[in-house]
Structure 1
Amino acid sequence: MKRLVATTAVSALLLTGCATGGDDQTADPTAAASSAASADTEALLDRHGLAGKNTTEIIDHLDRLAGDDRPADLKASVRSHELVLSGAGQELTLDIPDDRFYLSVAPYVNRTHDCFHHSLTTCKGELAGTDVQVEIVDDTTGTLLVDRTQTTFANGFVGFWLPRDIQGTLRVTHDGRTGTAKIATGQDAPTCLTTLKLS
């Protein structure tokens, strides 16, 4: 489901509220503002080739873009329960499914950066296009959630859709080096992990 917070929506509401409405005194200003906001929403998504995609598809698409293909005029922040897109004075909030959590991981050897909410268009890790072996275990049940070799994206990250509200252990191995970290997928959990040093 899409939720929109946009400066254009606020402006449309104010303009509609001040208008006389001609002969139609029953016009709903909220409906008019909602219609304008919906058009702006579709324009923002269409401008970046995201129209018709759901939230998980948008996240997967943007995180995998090559460096030159990442839009400089679009900010995309992954929160625990939502994706926030902003650009050209508009902000669009898209809900992430209630049972899923997106964790993006940038393992490193020499250099890293601080991160809490993963930015799909600006975050960049050290190890781009690198094969890493990943294991993720649910600490409560012992269930092995991820066990595979995966190539990091062009931005140096690798992303995982995990069950909501778990405590787990992440283990990444590359070129004889290994890093381990505790993870969580709750309401206030980070969606960006950049502290996993391979040693």
Structure 2
Amino acid sequence: MKRLAMAATAFTLVLAGCAPADPNPSSTTGQDATIDLLSDFGLAEMDAVEAIDHLDRLAVTDRPADLMASVYPDELVLTDNVREVTLDIPEDSSYLSIAPYVDQTHDCFYHSLTTCLGELSNENIELQIVDNATGEEIIDEEMTTFDNGFIGVWVPNNIADGTIEITYDGLTGSTDFTTTDEGATCITDLRVE
């Protein structure tokens, strides 16, 4: 069922421009394929958290064009359209990739670490994330967006109702989010105005 949902999402992302040309690569399994794929892209011996952090922080010009790295609620899927590797996300965590915008954005649900681009590249922002059910302020800090216009944060999983608020250059915007199994990992609907 998870693969069916991923295939449907991949089709949606193709339409949004955040996915590879072939969203259904042939899967090459086995330890050798895993080691080879990870080594080929400088990710050897990294777990999902380390690989996500590494890829998100790369300059756009340094991101591998032949690697698709998709963040799902429970796993990171890496593929070069020949081989596919899946790395598990820690059970107690969820990754949110957030691209605040002023004028332009794109539709996205599962973040692609190598192809998604946001409007506000290398900009200083103030970020607040709140779990509305508990009232807990999860994050309240100043950050700089990555070269791809996103910021990436690790938050607890199973947040059923949360709010993200960003202030940029005197402009503020907010959006709701969830980190349940049905939650998005790519937040592109947060307009600051």
TM-score, length of structure 2 as denominator length: 0.85
1:119 aligns with 2:112: yes
Q: How does 1:89-128 map to 2 (within 5 A)?
A: 89-128=82-121
Do the aligned residues in 2 keep the contact of 1:6 with 1:92 (CA within 8 Å)? no
Which deviations, in whole Å up to 9, do the C-alpha atoms of 1:79-133 show, x marking residues without a partner?
0111110015011111101100000000000000000000000000000000000
Whole-angstrom CA distance in 1 between matches of 2:64 and 2:146: 16
Which secondary structure does the structure 2 equivalent of 1:112 belong to?
coil
Of all paired residues, the percent bearing the same amino acid is 51
Aligned position for 1:153: 146
* Cα distance change on mapping 1:7 and 1:141 into 2, 3 Å: closer
Q: 1:8 aligns with which of 28, 40, 46?
A: 28
Extract unaligned runs of 5+ from structure 2.
1-24
Aligned position for 2:187: 193
Which secondary structure does the structure 2 equivalent of 1:8 belong to?
coil
Do the aligned residues in 1 keep the contact of 2:165 with 2:175 (CA within 8 Å)? yes
Stretches of 4+ moved more than 2 A in 1? 5-9
Q: Cα distance, 1:6 vs. partner?
A: 6.1
- Give 1 or 2 for the bigger CA radius of gyration: 1
Do the aligned residues in 1 keep the contact of 2:28 with 2:84 (CA within 8 Å)? no
Whole-angstrom CA distance in 1 between matches of 2:110 and 2:163: 19
Whole-angstrom CA distance in 1 between matches of 2:163 and 2:34: 38
Q: How does 1:12-161 map to 2 (within 5 A)?
A: 37-161=30-154
Aligned position for 2:12: none
Which secondary structure does the structure 1 equivalent of 2:28 belong to?
helix
What amino acid sits opposite 1:194 in the alignment? T
Do the aligned residues in 1 keep the contact of 2:102 with 2:191 (CA within 8 Å)? yes
Whole-angstrom CA distance in 1 between matches of 2:176 and 2:81: 38
Whole-angstrom CA distance in 2 between matches of 1:195 and 1:96: 24
Which deviations, in whole Å up to 9, do the C-alpha atoms of 1:130-163 show, x marking residues without a partner?
0000000111111110000000000000011000
Whole-angstrom CA distance in 2 between matches of 1:95 and 1:101: 11
Aligned position for 2:158: 165
What amino acid sits opposite 1:183 in the alignment? F
What amino acid sits opposite 1:117 in the alignment? Y
RMSD: 1.2
* Cα distance change on mapping 1:59 and 1:119 into 2, 3 Å: same
Q: Cα distance, 1:68 vs. partner?
A: 1.2
Which secondary structure does the structure 1 equivalent of 2:121 belong to?
coil
Extract unaligned runs of 5+ from structure 1.
10-36
Q: Cα distance, 1:7 vs. partner?
A: 3.4
Whole-angstrom CA distance in 1 between matches of 2:27 and 2:138: 41
Which deviations, in whole Å up to 9, do the C-alpha atoms of 1:31-82 show, x marking residues without a partner?
xxxxxx1011101000111001111000011011101110011000000111
Aligned residues: 168
